[in-house]
Structure 1
């Protein structure tokens, strides 16, 4: 096990991990809104666009199911190296063909790489950080993995009309390979794993099931926004979509860091309801697609709620488990993240045609509002536990 002791928050391994995650996740976010556009423009339509994101998330989810065992066998260093390679190299193949089978095959490989990176990173942070500052450490790490969204999501949309899809795909490959530089200095140790029958049985614990349910609902809405907002805005308004994604991406890591600092001092659970409510209000703003201000503000508010919920739910899950289960908790949290995004993208792709984008966004907002109930129940349960101590 990696010893945390009295290590400072930004130790050398933490900085190297942040740099590795920064480069690899920039590669991922650069292509996240581009691949659906590439697929749709090649004749596969909304369903093909949704499938490109959905298949990525499916591969991520399947890989995440075995990640605790994977990290226990190969360790953090080897795991991160393999994840970066799977995440980056297949992107170059998209230059060769825009056919749906090629897009889906590369999406599968990238999804597996994404799973390794996003599960290993938070689990390693949880072990490296002092327990009393774990929420803040996760918030700082959230900023490191949030910067790629700030840069990648809008820059990809701005670059494609200027230089085309091919160079953007190659840039994604180059960024992922750049992440390999810091990996040799990451801790080598295998992640400790307790055997409790796999990842999903942890949901039998209500203290884990509630934050997972809340987070999965929010990520479902996130999958819809990130996949379909560039397609939903009126023709000629791609600048609005890029600006909205930029606002979303800036708000997300700031809210994640602020939630970590506040949660360490005042409790994490009290932030669940405000985070969900902010996300609901933000999603409601996307109904007015003809109003660029409503779209941009809505995307920013959703990003703030999404970012806060990321840190709160993950910190709660680590606090309610022991260090040997951190890899398992990270895998479960990421299952909620990627499963929600995949289901949201594919499901919205099926309903967007019949009902239209504005009604579809309104329906997603209504689904998101359902997460207020488990959020409130978790806060009430946490307060009851504290009052009984």
Structure 2
């Protein structure tokens, strides 16, 4: 049976659930895996390469900071580009910018070249995730949007879970050059899947710009809640290895595996629940669980408390990921999918960056246990938008 691919159409007539996995979505998965694998394979590698290339102790921070700055700037600009050129051009261009500079990274010739490579790759990753995210939303039937976005989350999580440790291991085996080339090629090869994707944004109607999205409370509220949970995620990834008791490296390794695993499972469950009962009901529980898990990490001397804390946080974070993104897509027409993708990704990246930077200063004053507790309390400020979205409807509006 053929079903409509337009998420604005009622796909569940006569009690038949619309098909979720289509040829177009499988092709989208190819480009998604290519972008994520390329990005995360080099994420822990380039800072080390920058320092080893004579950049000094500040080189790792400069490399990563440049990458994330370009990513945020690119995410804000991409919806406009999608509205003008369509999904395929922007997605393909993003994959090219992500892959081609990686090929020349071994020839960058010093810190200036490394910074340029990081900046270009950040722009490419931003274009790939924002244009790709908007396109993905158009490929998922509205009746199964939560479940579909959960499946997308699982697919995108695998390259990050594998790429981060794999990049570090490969550098030790074969050196920086081959790893950079591999990361470049995986992005460039995935461009081959782009021509088979639909290209709807050009004719989907008036574009909903980022500025308009920033003025829309219906989009800002879930974005603010998700950004708050992402803030804690950046803290955990950056500072948990430093905060736990010395000699607990094994606990840290397990914790940093449990947290994303719990998030992936919770994201899937939240997607299925949200399709049946509405995603707005899940925004507040996601925030509360995230704050509770962060509070549990204040007991840094207890391995049980640390593992329980990251498990609870990961569950809340996964729920918040799915609920906020599903809710934001439900509140705009198809022409606004690019803006939703941009705002949500900016909340993710900016939240992680601000969290890591601010927590470092706070922990310097209070110590790690108190800093985790204070962070958990500060996260409750997002209760205001979360409570309002608990009862808000899915339709677009302030």
TM-score (ref. length: structure 2): 0.82
Matched, 1:367 2:369: no
2:259 paired residue number: 248
Matched, 1:271 2:289: no
Q: Runs (4+) of structure 1 moved beyond 6 Å?
A: 40-43
**CA offset digits 1:232-264 (Å, max 9, x no partner):** 556776554443332222222222221111001
For structure 1, which segment, 10-19 or 296-305, has the greater mean C-alpha deviation from structure 2 after superposition? 296-305
**C-alpha distance in structure 1 between counterparts of 2:302 and 2:43, whole Å:** 24
**CA offset digits 1:184-216 (Å, max 9, x no partner):** 3222444435245x3133233322221011011
For structure 1, which segment, 159-168 or 372-381, has the greater mean C-alpha deviation from structure 2 after superposition? 159-168
User: Which secondary structure state, in structure 2, belongs to the residue aligned with residue 371 of structure 1?
Assistant: helix
Question: Is the 2:153–2:267 Cα contact (8 Å) retained in structure 1?
Answer: yes
Matched, 1:179 2:190: yes
**C-alpha distance in structure 2 between counterparts of 1:356 and 1:91, whole Å:** 39
**C-alpha distance in structure 2 between counterparts of 1:248 and 1:137, whole Å:** 22
**CA offset digits 1:33-66 (Å, max 9, x no partner):** 4445666787755x76555444323212211222
1:312 paired residue number: 323
**C-alpha distance in structure 2 between counterparts of 1:152 and 1:109, whole Å:** 20
**CA offset digits 1:310-330 (Å, max 9, x no partner):** 111111111111122122222
Q: RMSD of the TM alignment (CA)?
A: 3.3
Matches within 5 A, 1:150-229: 150-159=161-170, 165-191=176-202, 192=204, 194-195=206-207, 198-229=209-240
Gaps in structure 2 of 5+ consecutive residues: 12-17
Matches within 5 A, 1:1-389: 3=6, 8-36=19-47, 45=57, 49-95=60-106, 101-159=112-170, 165-191=176-202, 192=204, 194-195=206-207, 198-230=209-241, 240-351=251-362, 353=364, 355-382=366-393
Change (3 A) 1:157 1:352: farther
Question: Is the 1:64–1:116 Cα contact (8 Å) retained in structure 2?
Answer: yes
Change (3 A) 1:165 1:208: same
**C-alpha distance in structure 1 between counterparts of 2:19 and 2:150, whole Å:** 15
Number of residue pairs matched by the alignment: 382
Gaps in structure 1 of 5+ consecutive residues: none
| Structure 1 residue 24: Cα displacement | 1.5
| Structure 1 residue 271: Cα displacement | 0.7
**C-alpha distance in structure 2 between counterparts of 1:151 and 1:351, whole Å:** 31
Q: Point out which structure has higher relative CO (alpha carbons under 8 A, 6+ apart).
A: 1
**CA offset digits 1:65-118 (Å, max 9, x no partner):** 221221122222222221112223334555457965555433322221121121
**C-alpha distance in structure 2 between counterparts of 1:70 and 1:118, whole Å:** 13
**C-alpha distance in structure 2 between counterparts of 1:370 and 1:352, whole Å:** 20
**C-alpha distance in structure 1 between counterparts of 2:36 and 2:296, whole Å:** 27
Question: Is the 2:59–2:111 Cα contact (8 Å) retained in structure 1?
Answer: yes
Question: Is the 1:143–1:253 Cα contact (8 Å) retained in structure 2?
Answer: yes
Give the greater-gyration-radius structure (CA). Answer: 2
Question: Is the 2:5–2:140 Cα contact (8 Å) retained in structure 1?
Answer: no
TM-score (ref. length: structure 1): 0.84
Question: Is the 2:222–2:327 Cα contact (8 Å) retained in structure 1?
Answer: yes
